[in-house]
Structure 1
Amino acid sequence: MLIAKGDLVNIRELRWGDLKYLQKWSNDPEVAFWARGVKDVSYTSAGEFRRWYYSRSNSSIKRFIVETKDKKPIGSISYRDYDPVNKVVVLGIHIGEKEYWGKGFGTDAIKAFVKYLFATLDINRIELDTFDDNIRAIKAYQKCGFKIEGVLREARFIDGKFHDVIIMGMIRKDFEKIANRTQI
């Protein structure tokens, strides 16, 4: 089922057949590095990946597929840790097909997903984090209206050195200002 539409992408519910894409992207060291700051995650078989994925399915993560307008899956987007008291969710995204990097597909997916989240969940805030070397992601988040709210100094150990974690957020009234200006 389609949940959101952007100019370049559609976002739809995850289907059983999509696990092969998630496994492929998880096994790509470059994709895994920019998505999670790790290079050595490897799921050797489809069965092993399914077991790992479904062991997490009872968690608070709600994952969706990002696909091109011609229905090619290129990544996933998710929210987690929905807090109905404080009205907050945490956003996550990765574009797994590298030929779509740097071409606006991730930014388009974020804009469409943020609009969906504010429209369907009773939330006031969306937050996320990334590490300091992920400049492409930070710029995409800023284009979508996220603001840098803080830095956790040397909070991740990646590739043999410590990195700062950049905390970013968007609140409903900022989203509404952007939506009224640009009609997203």
Structure 2
Amino acid sequence: MSDKSDSVFKLRPLEKTDLEVITPWFQDIEDLGRFDRTSRIPLNLAQTEDVWRDAFSASGNSGKCWFVVESNSGQVVGIVGLEAISLVNRDAIIAMFVEKSVRRLGLAIRATALVADFAFRQLGLNRLTSYYRQDNHISRDLVERLGCQVEGTMRQAWFSDGTFHDMIVVGLLRQDWMNTRQTLAKSISSETVVTFGANGCPSWSWPPQVDKCD
């Protein structure tokens, strides 16, 4: 990247207008089968808006919390969020997707780590759960770096491309994350940063910049 600003990405709340950008990502049959267990049918914009309608609930009590990953120039390049948030059990499901053209830039690990921080530090959750298709090594490597523990295998629970695949269930406890966080931060280059909001805050960035905002 030639411009330093190109290496700074922000998380901001998902807006309904973002679905115009996101919808084509899941019209890619290969990605749909690899990353989404719930559907094999590519959706048009109206159908996508219907699927996501709860995320835009005015009350904010939908149990969902989604962010887009946006470049400094305003390009939406990924989504990351929490589903099935339970304030009783203090847990949620965490999910991440990065658009093909910007993969291998380290955005997924940074954005997911930032949302893990958000879940544990801001929402007070104690557990995050995630799932991946057994042959999806990208997702496997991501959750391993976060410190997730494999908790089980759901045999032949994921059908795609004519094959039943096993589904791996992983969990991340708050204590797991606190044990992993510092080591992970040291292993990630600060040349690319994902932060919350337009102006950012060093303590809400990944990798973390300083202990607190000035």
TM-score by length of 1: 0.83
The answer for the alignment partner of 2:65 in structure 1 is: 62
For residues 15-26 of structure 1, the aligned pairs below 5 Å read 15-26=15-26
Aligned mates of 2:55, 2:118 — CA distance in 1: 23
Q: Is the 8 A contact 1:102 1:136 kept in 2?
A: no
Whichever residue aligns with residue 77 of structure 1, its letter is V
Q: Is the 8 A contact 2:34 2:160 kept in 1?
A: no
Whichever residue aligns with residue 85 of structure 2, its letter is Y
The answer for the alignment partner of 1:4 in structure 2 is: none
Tell whether 2:167 aligns with 1:165: yes
Q: Secondary structure at the match of 2:125?
A: coil
State the structure with more CA Rg.
2
Tell whether 2:111 aligns with 1:109: yes
Q: Is the 8 A contact 2:126 2:174 kept in 1?
A: yes
The answer for the alignment partner of 2:142 in structure 1 is: 140
Aligned mates of 1:14, 1:82 — CA distance in 2: 16
Aligned mates of 1:139, 1:90 — CA distance in 2: 17
Across the aligned residues of Structure 1 and Structure 2, the Cα RMSD in angstroms comes to 2.3
Q: Is the 8 A contact 1:30 1:39 kept in 2?
A: no
CA displacement, residues 102-145 of structure 1 (integer Å, 9 cap, x when unaligned):
33111111111111111111211111001101111110111122
C-alpha distance 69-33 of structure 1, shift in aligned 2 (>3 A) = farther
Unaligned runs of 5+ in 1: 1-6
Q: Secondary structure at the match of 1:71?
A: coil
Tell whether 2:90 aligns with 1:90: no
Instruction: Please report how far the alpha carbon of residue 61 of structure 1 lies from its aligned counterpart in structure 2 after TM superposition.
Output: 2.7
Instruction: Please report how far the alpha carbon of residue 180 of structure 1 lies from its aligned counterpart in structure 2 after TM superposition.
Output: 4.1
Q: Secondary structure at the match of 1:133?
A: coil
For residues 39-54 of structure 1, the aligned pairs below 5 Å read 40-44=40-44, 46-54=45-53
Unaligned runs of 5+ in 2: 1-6, 187-207, 209-214
C-alpha distance 50-143 of structure 1, shift in aligned 2 (>3 A) = same
C-alpha distance 81-106 of structure 1, shift in aligned 2 (>3 A) = same
The answer for the alignment partner of 2:204 in structure 1 is: none
Whichever residue aligns with residue 87 of structure 2, its letter is P
Instruction: Please report how far the alpha carbon of residue 156 of structure 1 lies from its aligned counterpart in structure 2 after TM superposition.
Output: 1.6
CA displacement, residues 8-29 of structure 1 (integer Å, 9 cap, x when unaligned):
5321101232110121212222
Aligned mates of 1:47, 1:152 — CA distance in 2: 32
Q: Secondary structure at the match of 2:151?
A: strand
Q: Is the 8 A contact 1:29 1:38 kept in 2?
A: no
Q: Percent identity?
A: 22
CA displacement, residues 91-111 of structure 1 (integer Å, 9 cap, x when unaligned):
11111x211123311111111
TM-score by length of 2: 0.72
Whichever residue aligns with residue 72 of structure 1, its letter is Q
C-alpha distance 38-179 of structure 1, shift in aligned 2 (>3 A) = closer
Instruction: Please report how far the alpha carbon of residue 56 of structure 1 lies from its aligned counterpart in structure 2 after TM superposition.
Output: 6.7
Instruction: Please report how far the alpha carbon of residue 158 of structure 1 lies from its aligned counterpart in structure 2 after TM superposition.
Output: 1.6
Q: Is the 8 A contact 1:8 1:105 kept in 2?
A: no
The answer for the alignment partner of 1:3 in structure 2 is: none
